[in-house]
A and B are shown apart, each in its own frame.
Chain A
């Protein structure tokens, strides 16, 4: 019995892996076959790119890709600047009220932006940012999670380096840019991967604050494209889905280790 255990383990693990990957494999199969071949599982049926052609012509995908790309870039740049400054303040500057403010920031971890959609929508409209990419990205820029992450990273920088830079006559800002930021590079990388994949995939908030193909990100575009009232068939939907997940999926498969490390680092703090 016990000699069989490793085989049973392998069998169970691989079976679960196959089940887990099956939805993707079926979509892959459907995307490259005509609808009737796809649903009948005609194994030897010819492969085709027609579904991709139909899907591509059915919506302004290039614009959606560009919007998503701009969105994740804007969010990431905003987050890097804001969380670096705030994280540094919490980690290395002593000022009255620091701990109280830090607890307030941590509170935001539980006030999910998703839950405040109604008031944030009102706010974005008031600011005149409705249906702009900056408007989609703005509520996420001062991420409490990012501030926390940066604070932890900056706290682990040896104080001797800080002192040495100060003796050399470096200003506060110079110390931050030349000493702290380079040393926190792994944290920045991890945070960037988590942030990009979060905002590439975000849906509910962009759905609410975008209203035109010029600003709509991929996820919203995909949901409109696949809506039943458009009557597109399963093969075309599969092709569109694969198309929109391809960049992130390929990046993940190539940099898998970095992705997993990034999510871990971000989660375990």
Chain B
């Protein structure tokens, strides 16, 4: 790493080296039988160089020839990608509070034991299929640059997933458990999943109408994706955001606050982003008022503002961090908790659906905030009780209009795989189209 910086500096460049090493083991079972077992040990190094206001970028998964990596970065520099920023001096940080050495040593038999514990929570299923998966991951990230930053973080996670699949389908509802050292299940969440699964077994045709819609935490990414795209510095710089000129304006319900805070979480907290900028709590929407445009080094310099620690590698689909350039990212965003319990919110639903899975959340006009998703599954609620699941139904609307109709936010968080902890959100008068 240090040698790379020296080689780049000798060519008259400012430089940043980003490196990762990740190890994971995973196992899954279907109806009691182990179906998949896999492991992965991935590492890589990415080099960014700056010279005369231009950026060079190169990466490799296997650092054997440092000169070749620098040569690739220099060839990229010659292409003329503009970069009017410098790498930050964030000092020296070594953060490993979210790391448990024991996770590094976990074996397949231990993971299989975790799987069996998850199975025991749900008991025997008389209808449908039970899928469980469990695994562990350790991750190291180091960033050094010629400005003086030397940043290191190490984390571990153990996870478990229990999914109840409806008979004759691949659609179901699930719980995800996650922790630094173990995946402690939330027993009340599991109980609700089991209850809801049984009460939602009947398929119901609902036709076309407007009704209350609850976004369960598992489907929340469909909303945050759109809010995040609109509030990105990239969309502002390109003047295509629907939130242009709306900073400090009320754009969604006062019940809703969306916060990006990489320093919070069950594990994998980040004290610096993937460019070495220190992270912080950023209220993007506060009580429905649009407060902040988030950025990375590139767009901060273009817009003559300060970087806020939201430059991350990876997108909505994840991806190989080493091969991706840092971009403005709300990867650590979560809705602030509200004041209602899940049961109270359910009681508020005279007629409606709970969206546990959003099918096709990526195919609408995301920038404009348009959302048209298949409910997969959508649990049908009448007079505060789940009575079935809707058949072949879609929910559609524009999120700014939809989120203005929020009537309750849950007071408890739930972990999801695509997002950090999120509460459920209840919206009123939403268009649902059914068969």
Q: Do A and B come from one complex?
A: no
Residues of B within 8 A of A (CB): none
